[in-house]
Each structure stands twice: as C-alpha cells, then as structure tokens.
Structure 1
Amino acid sequence: MENSQLSTLNSQLTKTGILGGTFNPIHIGHLALANYLCEFTELDELWFMVSPQNPIKDASNFLSDNERLELVRVAVKDYPKFKVSDFEFSLPRPSYTINTLDKLKEEYPDREFYLIMGADNWNSIHRWKEARRLMEQHNILVYPRPGYALYNDYFPPKTKAINAPLLDISSTFIREAIAKGKDVRYFLHPEVYRLLKKD
C-alpha cells in the first residue's frame, strides 16, 4: 500500500484513547483529564478500560470488578465521547498492556488506538513487557504528573506529550477520606458519590 493510501485509511479510522486503571473509584481527576483529551487533542473518543484486580495486590480495600465497572459507567454516561470497557476482564491475567493493545487492534480494525499514560508511568516504561515493541507499534499520549518532567525531544515517533491540566487527586485519597467520614462529594461525580455513600 502506498503512503498516500495509508494516510487516507488512517484518517478514516476512529481515533480512540485508552485510559486504563482500576478506577477504585473513578474521580474528577480521571474525568477532567479524559474530557481535556477528547476536546483538545486529535481523539474522537476515549475508552475507560477498567482493569481487573491484580492478584498480587492486597484487594481488601478494593471494590469488586463489577462494582468499579458500574461506577465508571455511571460517571461517563452523559458525555458521548466517553465509553466504558471491560475488555481486559476476558483476557489472560495478569493483564499486560502490550497484549491488550495487540488484541484491541485485532478486534477493532476500524479504530486507531492511543494509549494514555501519566509521566510517572512513562518514566518507567522500559520495565514494561515488550516495551520497545510497545513504543514502536502503538500510539502513546503522555500527560504530566506532579514531579515528573516531560521532554518531547526524547520521545519516539509514535509518542507525544499532552499539556493537560494537573489535577493531583488519587483514588487512595478518596477511599481514605470516605473511610474517615469526610464529605468529598466535589471530588467525585455526584452519582458515584451517592452510590459510594450508600454502601
């Protein structure tokens, strides 16, 4: 296939961001980042890829896979560019990013996928499974995290830094605050907060 034909084909693909995580629970930091990426980058849509529980992590303070999936579904349902995905639930565990992206590419040939990761993960990507192939074959968008610099000059061709706003909020902070009886409603989608407080 000639370069001009390939370029035309790529322009017709739906540009789909993949934001993976445990989302335990999903909070406004996740939503604001995803909203920015959909409105200020080339992405047409963004999938929240809910990761299954890691068997080597302490899951005692984790919501179940289906509970986390439902909270994400509730949080994103009113914005048409957001989708929730349980794609990794059916893949072999542990879930490796390279395997997920390979399988997505195979099952959704009408989409061009972009892996979204924070600068902290980018700085340790050399430790990921098949890191070189991951960077060579897949699009990556890297967003800033407090304390981690981003230098475009050092990125491979398919990787790009995104100057998204910094929102230093973590799911751990949310869980601990709720456990202490704190009212953190403005850190969460209202319906997510209502469901969490109901438990």
Structure 2
Amino acid sequence: MLSSSFNISAYLFLIVFITLSNPWIYRITNFNSLLGFCIFILSLLLTISWQIKKRRYLTFLLLILFISLSAYLLTYQFDGSIFIRTPLEKDLFSQRHNYYAQEFGKLYENRFTIYYFSQVKPYIDHLSQNLANSLDISGRFFIIFLPFFLIGIFNLNKSLLNVIYLTVALIVSSLTHVESLGPILLLPFINLAIFIGFLRLFSRPLYKQKI
C-alpha cells in the first residue's frame, strides 16, 4: 500500500512515462497500431487497478481487454510450429530411440514409453522453449529500468488478479508467435513491476494506504 500524497494524475504520468520509454511498445505499434494501442491501455488498466482499492469496473475492463487480446493472439498468431517436427528432430528421436532401446531394453520398449517420447515429448519441448523465451527479460526494457523492475517484482503483492494475469499471459505467450515481438502480453506486467519499483524507492513511507 502506497502513499496517498501521490494523486492519480501522478500515477498516470508515471505509468505513461514508463510505457512510452520502452522501445518494445513502438515495435508492437509498428507491427499493428491497434494492437500497440490496446497493450498501452492494458498497461494503464493493470497498474491503476493495482493501485486503487475500489477497482471493480477497472478490473472488468481489464479482463475484457485482456481476454480479447488473448483470443486475438491465439486465433491469428498461433505458433503452428509447436506441432511440427523437423527432420532434425525426427533424426534425433531415432538416435535416442536406438540408444534407449539398447540401454534400457524392455523397460523402454513398450508402447506407452515410445508414444510419450515420439508423440508427446517433442511438443512439450517446443512449449518449454517458448515459455523460456517468454521468461527471458533481456531486451524487454532499457537496462536503466532493471533495478526498478527487480524491486517491483520483489514487492509485487500476490493478488488473485496479478496471479491470473501472469499465468494466462505466460500460457498464451507459449502458444503464440508474433514475428520477433516476443511475449507482448507480458509488457503491461513488466511496466507494473517497474512502476512499483519507482514507488518503492521514491515514496515515503514505503507502504501506506492505497487511493
């Protein structure tokens, strides 16, 4: 909870400054101006709904926009390569199959194990790689914001809204691929963390009652 000496205008100015200082938002806007605008609004809603106590309507707007963007990404930017096995992957599976068959014998050579390694594991590996890429924050914001981001993450309250947002954003990001833009649904969450980091450092006392 933060100092009431910061009014809502100051909060808005700060989150707008943080968002517009990130070159990521301009890459998104260049790809699709409407998508960039929606991500910008989502950043505002996520931050304000975190800061304001009576946030029912803000949370409703946030969820509607977030669900709409998630549906758009899953519909038009779905990563079909998740379910495509390249010749190299097939060759690696063949080599591993021969090795495991020799080393583990009947323990490996049963239909359930073979089905898992041939039909399930490749897709899990693809999703895991996409998830790892989503969690890679390098290049997501200027390095000068890194201390604020880390402080914000450490001090981010584990509210249901934050948990749901982050979980769904990671799932959607793992299933989609928007050219070289990365996990764009995580940008508002990153902005929120940086915002909290700013307030954590520059407001006194550090935690007071919300607006």
Q: Shorter chain as normaliser: what TM range?
A: under 0.3
Please report the TM-score for the alignment, with normalisation by the length of structure 1: 0.27
Greater helix proportion? 2
